[in-house]
A = this chain, B = another copy of it.
Amino acid sequence: MAPGRLCSYVSCNAMSDSQKFPVATHALAYLAHKDATAMDRAISSAELAASMPTNPVVVRRVTAMLAKAGLIDTRAGAGGGAWLKVDPGAIRLDTVLKAVGGCTHLGVAPPGTKGCPVGERIPEAVSAAITAADLAAHERLSRITVSDLLNRPLEKL
């Protein structure tokens, strides 16, 4: 069998994202903090990057995804940049996680041996458990909005 990744059961972009969710969340919070809610208040990727701090290209890679998800808008050219298209109080963090293609990365259940009824059930059960954990994380994030990041007491997030 070819090396790498336990055959090919890996879906979900296993092992990817990493910093995409934090960067996206930070960027949205920064936009909200700066009241960037219209085109004439656009924030450049350079300024966003400086606030992390990270590279402007990394920021643009993320803002492009947020724009595709309809959370922000961007405009090229002088005075361009990104601004919020949705009220920050209405942007839930699970939406952000989905926008950047994230999941909890607990892995993917290996297939199990064919034939044995129990052997077939185990992978399904493991999958179900992983999915349940993933859903729980999303549900928890859905109770936090971008506004909450700025306003709610940290202990109550």
Contact = CB atoms under 8 A, between A and B. Distances in A.
A76 to B, nearest CB: 25
A107 B137 CA distance: 13
A20 B109 CA distance: 10
Interface secondary structure of A, over-half rule: helix
| Copies of chain A in the complex | 2
A85 B118 CA distance: 21
A26 B107 CA distance: 12
B133 A22 contact: no
Of the candidates A26, A58, A150, the one having the most CB atoms from chain B within 10 angstroms of its own CB is A26
Interface in A79-127: 93, 97, 102, 104-113, 118-119, 121-126
A17 interface: yes
Interface stretch (A36-44, A64-72, A139-147): A139-147
Contact of A123 (B10, B26, B122, B129): B26
Contact of A118 (B33, B104, B140): B33
A111 B157 contact: no
Contacts of A126: 22, 25-26, 29, 149
Contacts of A122: 26, 29-30, 33, 51, 149-150
